[in-house]
Amino acid sequence: MSQLDLALEAEISTRHLSFLETGRSQPSREMVQLLAEKLEMPLRERNVMLASAGFAPVYSERSLDDPALRSMREAIDLVLRGHEPYPALAVDRHWSLVASNGALLSLVQSVDPALLKPPVNVLRLSVHPAGLARSIVNFPEWRDHLIARLHHQVNVTGDAVLSALIEELRAYPIPDASRRAAVSRKDHGGIFVPLQLMTEEGVLTFFSTTTIFGTPVDVTLSELAIEAFFPADPETADALRRMAEKRQAAAGI
């Protein structure tokens, strides 16, 4: 957003905005919050902006096991269970796994158990040579998609942990194409970047959606996201139903 656009959104003059940026004028708490809102800054960064202006942080930050977040955790678990037989997971701001459903666990059984020890970073799990990388048919495309998402987060937050994660993901080698089954890639019309995963049921093709809480005023809650994967073709949907039936049979359900 340009300075002019921000000034118009905040209903202040560009001269006053320039004075605020250069330190010639001291913003009020309300002005800091207004500008942060117009810039759509994450709550964590809004607290940083308030502190930089000499004000106390406004937004609380609780641990995930705080009783105040119990109903939110229950809501996440409800969404994950309701999404079966399709895979879904919840992550925090650094892509650490918070929760997942049975369908997701079925897809990661072949990875190195060391990568499944908490805290599990789902992006590392995806592209690590001992993780899902060997099973992702369109690995270069999928890795580039994940890195692009991380770049967007870093541009918004300036998070050093995410910046380091980008470099880590880039450093992992691309699996030898000969080790992955050759499959004909279906044309999705440029609508989405698919995840094509080789499994015992054949190649499964997914697209994903991201869900966040709509009105958070807690930093931790604002940074939780649910990644839900959907079948991109009838064959994948059928395979996921068969996998769910196998899980139920194994559990004696």
Q: Which fold has domain 67-146+175-250?
A: Beta-Lactamase (3.30.450)
Is it the case that residue 64 has pLDDT exceeding 50? yes
In the structure, what pLDDT confidence band is assigned to residue 187 with cuts at 50, 70 and 90? low
**What's 135's DSSP letter?**
G
* AA letter at 173: P
pTM for the full predicted model: 0.86
Q: What is the domain partition of the chain in residue ranges?
A: 3-52, 67-146+175-250
Is it the case that residue 206 has pLDDT exceeding 80? yes
Q: Provide, rounded to the nearest whole percent, the portion of the chain with pLDDT above 70.
A: 94
Mean pLDDT for 98-116 is: 93
Classify 51 as helix, strand or coil.
helix
In the structure, what pLDDT confidence band is assigned to residue 146 with cuts at 50, 70 and 90? very high
Share the mean pLDDT of the chain: 90
Distances (CA, A) of 167 to 8, 150, 160, 172: 37, 10, 11, 9
Give the pLDDT of residue 180: 53
Report the sign of the C-alpha dihedral through residues 193, 199, 203, 208, in that order: negative
Query: 59: left (phi > 0), else alpha (psi -120 to 50), else beta?
Result: beta
